[in-house]
Structure 1
Amino acid sequence: MNRQRTDDRTRNRSRRPRTISISLAERGQTTQDFAVGIGVFLLAIAFVFSFLPSLVTPYESSGGAKTAQADRIADRIVDDLGTGSGNEINFTDYAGDDNLTEEVGLRASSGDVVYDNLNISIKYVNNSTTLNPSTTAGEPYTNQSAASSARIITLENGSNECDPACRLVVRVW
């Protein structure tokens, strides 16, 4: 649109295109929508990561007290049965014994009712098989939920079974 001015000057300017404004109601996403969406997403991720470990743990997990007790018993066995050269032990004192209440300090009543069950076995380092029946003590372990502790040892009798070493495995349930 050309306007005429009072000073008789004429201008021939082309008209500038009009700016098109977008209303907020037609817009796809606002900054606040984005912030709320990211906040909900992060809360959902935090919820999943906080509860995922509790979903995969077994219902009967052995507590910290049982694990500490298994560690204490394994240390006591290595200390009591040690021959003085490294972690070499003489396991013949415990081998085949079913009641190790007094030897390892388990809780028991006056009627010899044992409150804690115990299994001690000596296994090969590279796999989970037991050396022989004379290298187990305590009650039989039948894959129940138990706290365990292991120590690397050698046997005093000089047998080649523990070449170079064996594992002393203590389980408490």
Structure 2
Amino acid sequence: MDTRAQTPQDFAIGVSVLLVTIIGVLAFVQGSAVGVYESPDVQRNQPIADRAATYLVENHSVEGTRNFIRYNTSGGINESLNEDSSELDNLKTNAGLDVATERRVNPRVNVTVVNASALKAGTRDPAVDSHGQRLAWGPDAAGRDNVASTTRVVKLTNATGQCDPVCWLVVRVW
């Protein structure tokens, strides 16, 4: 006669509870530990990228429309960003992105319009307008680490051949 008090059913239930507990703990810890490995620069700059993208869309949209950006017109995004400095200082000031303190410098911002054909090809190369101008403003973000990025789906007015059917307005901050 077997003197053990544990039946096979007890063993199966115990192992199941143990496995569910271990899997639950690992899933919880993995989700909360991901933020530890993300750069604090990205965490700090993500809201800045969001604010800049929202500012550009809200202030350059055609009246009464959503995400239909004035491009080559008076007060359009092209005119506004072309008149700005190479560091997009006016954009940073108008959008409230000046966050400099004694220990913190102002962020660097890059704004790029990516057309549908580039997206289809799997790249984020800037679109080119009918005059051969690349639709990218600010310092280049290529090769940078810890870049926060925000994307808005938009269409452009007066940009023949661009944004068919849509473009991405990509704002990068580092």
The answer to whether structure 1 residue 146 and structure 2 residue 133 are counterparts is no
Q: Computing the radius of gyration over CA atoms, which structure comes out larger, 1 or 2?
A: 1
The answer to whether structure 1 residue 88 and structure 2 residue 77 are counterparts is no
1:130-171: CA deviations, max 9, x gaps? 113541112211253222222222223342222232111112
Match of 1:16 in 2: none
Q: CA deviation at 1:78?
A: 1.5
Which has the larger share of helix? 2
CA RMSD for the aligned pairs? 3.2
The structure showing larger relative contact order (alpha-carbon pairs under 8 Å, at least 6 residues apart) is 2
Identical-pair percentage: 20
User: Distance between the aligned counterparts of 2:97 and 2:156, measured in 1?
Assistant: 24
Native 8 Å contact 1:97 1:137 kept in 2: no
- Written as runs of structure 1 = structure 2, the 5 A alignment for 1:54-133 is 58-60=37-39, 62-63=42-43, 66-84=45-63, 86=65, 87-89=68-70, 90-92=76-78, 93-95=80-82, 97-100=85-88, 101-107=92-98, 109=100, 114-126=105-117, 127=119, 128-132=124-128
Q: 1:77 to 1:31 in 2, by over 3 A?
A: same
Q: 1:109 to 1:148 in 2, by over 3 A?
A: closer
The alignment's TM-score, normalised by the length of structure 1, stands at 0.66
Letter in 1 for 2:86: D
Gaps of 5+ in 1: 1-21
User: Distance between the aligned counterparts of 1:34 and 1:164, measured in 2?
Assistant: 57
User: Distance between the aligned counterparts of 1:39 and 1:120, measured in 2?
Assistant: 52
Q: CA deviation at 1:119?
A: 1.2
Match of 1:23 in 2: 2
